[in-house]
Structures are given as C-alpha cells and as structure tokens.
Structure 1
Amino acid sequence: MLPGMDEGNTAAGSAPDISDMSFEQALGALEQIVQQLERGDVPLDQSISLYERGEALRAACQQRLDAAQARIESIVTGADGRPASTRPFDTES
C-alpha cells in the first residue's frame, strides 16, 4: 500500500497524481486497486472511481513501458562499443 493511502482513501481525488509516480509506484497502486476490486467489498460508486483510477494507472504504466522499449530498440552497440544500429527489442542477438 502506498504511504498516506488506506483502503478508504483511494478515490481519484485524494490519491497522488499519477504523473508524479514512478513506474513501480504506479504498478503498486494498480495492484492495490485490483485487489480491492477483486475482494468485492467496495461500494459501487467507489468501485467505479477505483476502476477509473486503475485504467489511468494502467495507461501510464503502458506508456512508460512503451517508452522504455523504444529506448532499448534504439540502442544496439557495435563491436567497438558504440551505438551501431537499431533492432527491435524482442529480436534475439
């Protein structure tokens, strides 16, 4: 659980700004939301708010993963250790 957040304090209005969170913090917050929704003990209105926040966190995490993958794809070093070319991230050496 994130500091300053308890189970009753996860509405989007009272939660930290996603843009200020690290990838790991955003992923942890998303995992917490999923756990709350899976328990099924959250009132409907709060469930909707949690779902909306979860979707925003998922999108932010995906954007950061896509950016990291693009950085990795852009850096392939040559024999001399200098960047030589680009290659897709999932292509084997």
Structure 2
Amino acid sequence: MTDEKPSYEQARDELTDVVRRLETGGLTLEESLNLWERGEKLAAICEEWLEGARARLAAAMSTPAADTKDAEAPF
C-alpha cells in the first residue's frame, strides 16, 4: 500500500473485510496478527476522517447566517 491515506469509504470497506476474515478464522497466528494490526490502522484512519467531519460540521454550525432576518422570513 502507498503512503497515501485512503478515503473514509475505502478504509471502512477494507476494515469490514479485515473483520470478516478474522471472524471466519482458519488463519495462522501470524496472518491473524497482521490483519489485526491492519485493522487497528484502518480504524484510526476512519476515526481521523470522522473527527475531521465533526470539526467541519461544528464550524459550519457556529458560523452565523449572512442575514438571519431574511432566513427567518419566507417572503
């Protein structure tokens, strides 16, 4: 894998696959450990994306509307 950070969706989908493979079993201890470590990295990437999204939403919600009087009046 490259050093480029995957999108949230890519990381989530790969994490889902990692969990499925771990739950299925039949892996060697080394394979299981490698998958677990990859899953931990993917979970951290997902959390980073989600924290960024939360920050963006909080910033957007704290920005006052340009003209709240017009926004409240339908006409």
Q: CA RMSD in A?
A: 1.8
More helix by share: 2
Please give the TM-score of this superposition, normalised by the length of structure 2: 0.77
The ranges of structure 1 where at least 4 consecutive aligned residues each deviate by more than 3 angstroms after the TM superposition are 17-20
Match of 1:80 in 2: 67
1-structure distance, mates of 2:40, 2:27: 17
Provide the identity percentage.
38
Q: Which runs of 5+ in 2 are unaligned?
A: 69-75
Q: Which runs of 5+ in 1 are unaligned?
A: 1-15, 82-93
> What's the offset of the Cα at 1:40?
1.0
What is the identity, as a one-letter code, of the residue corresponding to 1:54?
Answer: G
Map Cα deviations across residues 31-65 of structure 1 (whole Å, 9 max, x no partner).
Answer: 00000000111111000000000000000100110
1-structure distance, mates of 2:48, 2:5: 14
Q: How many residues align?
A: 66
Q: Is the 8 A contact 1:18 1:57 kept in 2?
A: no
CA radius of gyration, larger in: 2
Please give the TM-score of this superposition, normalised by the length of structure 1: 0.64
